Structure 1
Amino acid sequence: MNTILIAIIVANILFSYKGFNDFTFFRKYEFHMGSIRSGEQVRLLSSGFLHADMGHLIFNMITLYFFAPVVIGFLGSLSFLIIYFGSLVFGSLLTIVFHKNDYNYRAVGASGAVTGVLYSAILLQPDMMLGIFFIIPMPAYLFGILYLLYSIYGMRAKNDNIGHTAHFGGAIGGYLITLVSNPHLLIDHTLMVVLLAIPIVILFVMEKLGKI
């Protein structure tokens, strides 16, 4: 496994584990709109290394483990880092756009960064297949679309501490960074470019209609 990928996974595990056992630490570094608007911008990044619980952490790290090697294999470690952290920042910024007036809004998770890597990998290798629960075959692009549609549900339900809005910001980040740096994908994988845009468009349409 790539050294940079290992380092990111280990950082997520260690930071999250500290947060699981130290509530003060968790509160200090989570995404909290009021604190960010008062000047604590470090939370835009630090919240991406905290997780709500062990299941949340495991799901994100397994997803990263499967898709990061595709991005690294096609684009190299530096581009992978740019996509990972760029998607994390995009996720935090979109969260600010959607929740800027909700000073009590809180969220954690690497979901934005991971979704960005997921979208990048699917653009680069659209014929990937996944084994859901290691058994059920599913095209990777379908998994990516369903993942974001579930995020819309999470945004509407508002019943957990997971940064569902960040999923979309991360997807947009990974999508745009990959396409800008590899514009030939617009021609080579036109159908995939269109399909992956569908849940992003749905989100903004629902937001415009006041459904989110």
Structure 2
Amino acid sequence: MAAISLWAFYRAPQWLDRGVLRPYWLLRRRQWGTVLSHAFLHADLTHLIFNGFSFWAFAPGLERALGTPRFLLLYAVGLLASTLGTWFKQRHNPAYQCLGASGAVMAVVFAAIALFPGAKLYILPIPVPIPAPIFGLGYLAYTLWAGQQQRGRTNHEAHLWGAVSGLLFALAVAPGWVARAWLG
């Protein structure tokens, strides 16, 4: 994913335009390939770094816990859920377009929170660790609020539906584990 984005930034910028998800045009022009292609491209280097770091921080432990087939399924479910959420909100907006794997990455982050609620997260510049469930609630609240503001270039619907799909996936594939993790 990172290599494709970097190649597009520096060697093939036309890939960004061809690979972008445009919800309004998805059905009208049958741009089905963009459901997948948009997740392999990022809007800029900062976007790629944030997604890459978040994935790096949560994916290895989660993949070990779930196993590779379930982990890959989680990622695909997060991508699909975040794309559907984006499509639903933006399907009447011909100017809207988005890139990035943020929804799938949020599915990974929130599945990890569901399975490892005792984890602590460090967020700069906050100097103290934040309990994972507190971070999760705060992040969801912020995402709901920011999605209503409709400002900036961030696809908050992708973040929201990716996070929700990650939580639901963890509950569906490991209900006993989630119950033990949360209830002791």
Same fold (TM > 0.5): yes
Distance (Å, rounded) in 2 between the aligned partners of 1:125 and 1:167? 20
Which of 135, 141, 144 aligns to 1:149? It is 141
1:1-212 to 2 correspondences below 5 Å: 11=1, 13-21=2-10, 22-37=12-27, 38-133=29-124, 135-185=127-177, 187-189=179-181
Provide the residue aligned with 1:208 in structure 2. Answer: none
Distance (Å, rounded) in 2 between the aligned partners of 1:108 and 1:148? 21
Matched residue type, 2:9: F
Q: Runs of 5+ in structure 2 lacking a partner? A: none
Distance (Å, rounded) in 2 between the aligned partners of 1:54 and 1:159? 20
Matched residue type, 1:36: L
Matched residue type, 1:126: P
Task: Report the CA distance between 1:166 and its aligned residue.
Answer: 0.7
Task: Report the CA distance between 1:74 and its aligned residue.
Answer: 1.4
What is the root-mean-square deviation of aligned Cα atoms in Å? 2.0
Matched residue type, 1:147: Y
Matched residue type, 2:7: K
Distance (Å, rounded) in 1 between the aligned partners of 2:47 and 2:136? 17
Distance (Å, rounded) in 2 between the aligned partners of 1:20 and 1:159? 24
Residue pair 1:109, 1:163 contacting (<8 A) in 2 also:
no
Residue pair 2:79, 2:162 contacting (<8 A) in 1 also:
yes
More displaced 10-residue stretch of structure 1: 112-121 or 178-187:
178-187
Residue pair 1:91, 1:165 contacting (<8 A) in 2 also:
yes
Task: Report the CA distance between 1:153 and its aligned residue.
Answer: 4.0
Q: Runs of 5+ in structure 1 lacking a partner? A: 1-10, 192-212
TM-score normalised per structure 2: 0.87
Distance (Å, rounded) in 2 between the aligned partners of 1:50 and 1:73? 26
Distance (Å, rounded) in 2 between the aligned partners of 1:15 and 1:111? 15
Residue pair 2:170, 2:178 contacting (<8 A) in 1 also:
no
Task: Report the CA distance between 1:86 and its aligned residue.
Answer: 1.1
What secondary structure sits across from 1:176 in the alignment? helix
More displaced 10-residue stretch of structure 1: 177-186 or 32-41:
177-186
How many pairs were matched up? 180
Residue pair 1:94, 1:169 contacting (<8 A) in 2 also:
yes
Identity %: 32
